[in-house]
Amino acid sequence: MPALDPAHDRVMICGSPAMLKDLKHILEHRGFKEGNTSTPGDFVIERAFAEQ
């Protein structure tokens, strides 16, 4: 399987806060830009669970 490429791939990540932080760093290091509901990007983070 080829490596992820921001020119062709989009990613949605979901998990624990620590995992999200790590994956966000990895994706940004590979050239991916975070998106949200108002700004398109190469990846988004599912924030369904709030830290308490």
Cα 34 to Cα 1, 52: the distances in Å are 23, 24
**What is the C-alpha to C-alpha distance for residues 48 and 52, in angstroms, rounded to an integer?**
13
Question: The whole model's pTM is what?
Answer: 0.82
Give me the pLDDT at residue 51, please: 57
What integer best gives the mean pLDDT of the chain? 90
Geometric angle at alpha carbon 34, from 46 and 11, rounded to 5°: 60
What's the domain count of the chain? Answer: 1
What mean pLDDT do residues 11-24 have?
Answer: 93
Domain limits for position 39: 1-52
For residue 20, what are its two tokens?
């999200």
